[in-house]
Amino acid sequence: AGGSVTLTCSPVLTVSPSWLSPGVSVTLNCSVKDPSAGWRFYWYKAVPRLSDMHYFYHNRHPGWMNYHGVHDSYSYDLLPGSTNGTEQDSYIVDGQTHTAGYVCRAARGDPVFYTHYSEPKFVWSGDVHSLASLTVSPDGVQHFTSDSVLLSCEGNSTKWRVKSLPENSYWSYCSNWRRMTRSTCTIHRYRLSAAVFWCESGSREFSNAVNITIQDHIILVSPVHSVTEGESVTLGCKCWTEKILSNVTFYKNDKLIQYDTRVDMKISAVSKSDEGFYRCEYSGNLSPQSWIQSSIVNMCFDYLALPDFIQ
């Protein structure tokens, strides 16, 4: 008896919800291939480790990361109550307010057999905090394929990396697929897509996350970061091929709310009743939708058409 052995299989971790809301708990679920009795589950928070990054370049898909590339990018801190594992295959995280990564693994038997760690999964927050923040220029969550979009990391660190989790669910670093210069990443002529972007710092911090979509025709203009309830917000509409002068239609939850000679729509004092999905239409072309959320603390704008893996 005694000792331990690592199994080659990896459990699958799921997190819910994927985007944080004030006061909402995060539920982690760890699934193993053989769900019979006897498993104990171990829960970890993933902490960025910039000095040990390794990349995997597949011949057909540059920048995709293999198992070791993902796990060499983070260290793992056991979550409270997880030192001896739990019998339950789920774990509740209370009080999480910022972007965070989580990992699980399972064990059973005597000697103890451990699985590999699961792939890290994230809960994202749009709230900015001083230790690490991501800003987008031009300010907005929707951009044209012809735009150069600058992602900037700011906070209490001199080392940064910009990460994204695109629609195909494969990990990517800015330095693999675009230009990373110190604390900034430039996206230029990116393909049509939707992906979540965030910063990771050398001081072990995650920034706020931004879900960016790249389009080629019509986009809705709305701020990236949150605004306080009661403030005014102006939504606009932009066309790739021409300047819009008049006659823009705005929709909330797919119901027409404004159609006249104006090119933008102003919400003079945002309240709970203004929550919903907004989009614009010009010359028969519709933009993607954006979600407007109002609360006492803030209002967040996030692009609706999230990839399946983060819905």
For residue 111, is the peptide bond before it cis, meaning its omega torsion is within 30 degrees of 0? yes
pLDDT of residue 169: 44
Show the tokens assigned to 249: 């239609």
> Is a pLDDT exceeding 70 seen at residue 202?
yes
pLDDT category of residue 299 using cuts at 50, 70 and 90: very low
Query: Tell me, which fold does domain 126-216 have in CATH?
Result: Immunoglobulin-like (2.60.40)
3-class DSSP state of 281:
strand
- The DSSP result for 132-188, as a single string, is EEEEEESSSSEEETT-EEEEEEEES-S-EEEEEE-TT---EEHHHHSEEETTEEEEE
| Class at the top of the CATH hierarchy for domain 4-123 | mainly beta
Domains 126-216 and 218-304 fall in the same CATH topology? yes
Q: Model confidence over 76-108: pLDDT tens digits? A: 999 999 999 999 999 999 999 899 999 999 999
Q: What is the pTM of this model?
A: 0.77
pLDDT of residue 303: 39
3-class DSSP state of 261:
coil
Per the prediction, the chain carries an average pLDDT of 80
For residue 190, the tally of other CB atoms under 10 A from its CB is 19
Report d(CA 222, CA 209) in Å as an integer: 16
pLDDT of residue 5: 57
Name residue 239's beta-bridge partners.
218
Show the tokens assigned to 16: 């819910």
Report d(CA 16, CA 27) in Å as an integer: 5
DSSP code for 304: S
304 or 97, which is more confident?
97
To the nearest whole percent, how much of the chain has pLDDT over 70?
77
Asked if residues 46 and 163 have their Cβ atoms less than 8 Å apart, the reply is no
> Is a pLDDT exceeding 60 seen at residue 120?
yes
pLDDT of residue 42: 97
The two counts, helices (H) then strands (E), for the chain are: 2, 27
Give the mean model confidence (pLDDT) for residues 106-123. Answer: 92
For residue 51, the tally of other CB atoms under 10 A from its CB is 7
Show the tokens assigned to 73: 């990018």
DSSP code for 84: T
Q: Is 91 exposed, middle or buried (0-12, 13-18, 19+ CB in 10 A)?
A: buried
CATH of region 218-304: 2.60.40.10
Asked if residues 146 and 174 have their Cβ atoms less than 8 Å apart, the reply is no
Report d(CA 231, CA 102) in Å as an integer: 35
pLDDT of residue 92: 97
pLDDT of residue 248: 92
pLDDT of residue 244: 83
**Domain boundaries defined on the chain:** 4-123, 126-216, 218-304
- Span of 148-162, 198-212, 213-227 with lowest mean pLDDT: 213-227
Q: Model confidence over 26-84: pLDDT tens digits? A: 999 999 988 777 899 999 999 998 864 433 333 333 333 444 445 568 999 999 999 99
